[in-house]
Amino acid sequence: KGSFGCVFQGSNVLDETKVAIKFEKKNAKENLLIVESNFLSLLKGFGVPEIRSFGYHANYYVLVEELLGSNLMQIKRAIQTFTIKEIAMIAIQIMDRIEYVHSKNIIHRDIKPENFVFGLNNDSILYIIDFGISRKYRSERKHLKFQMLGKLFGTVRYASYNASRGIEQS
């Protein structure tokens, strides 16, 4: 369970493929699952989870996506420490994922260890997840203007100085 909804593990009834199923109430203050599904559709590519389905059921939006493995924080807690080689390999993949997201004119706005997850079937591939508070930071023609939002988007622990002061990330 996260701040804005619940995630469950399920399986496709046709082929028994394991999937992640995210639920968010339709009447939520902000419908972040709609935002996330839109960005995942734009970001189809290596290191981004594949959407299997998006829609609604009863009073919930439902996003079905590729099931992934453990996140960096879970792995860190389990093994206590990474080797220098592992850190370098992880850092390269993190930078590749962020660069790919930025190449699509999108800013993630919640970069943290919990949002980098290894693949379930291939645990050497790192995925970037959780695009609910992401946004476009520029159109094809121009960069967004500087703004004071007055509130923080993302996780306080990992926020930049400017983001923690309420300045729009870009």
Place of tokens 């960069």: 143
Query: Distance between CA atoms of 30 and 75, rounded to whole angstroms?
Result: 31
**Which tokens belong to 116?**
């980098």
Burial class (CB in 10 A: 0-12, 13-18, 19+), 105: middle
- Among residues 15, 96, 110, 123, which one is catalytic? 110
Give the residue from 73, 47, 68 showing the smallest Cα distance to 125: 47
Is 110 marked active-site? Answer: yes
Can you point out the beta strands (E) in 111-158? 116-119, 126-128, 135-136
Active site residues: 110
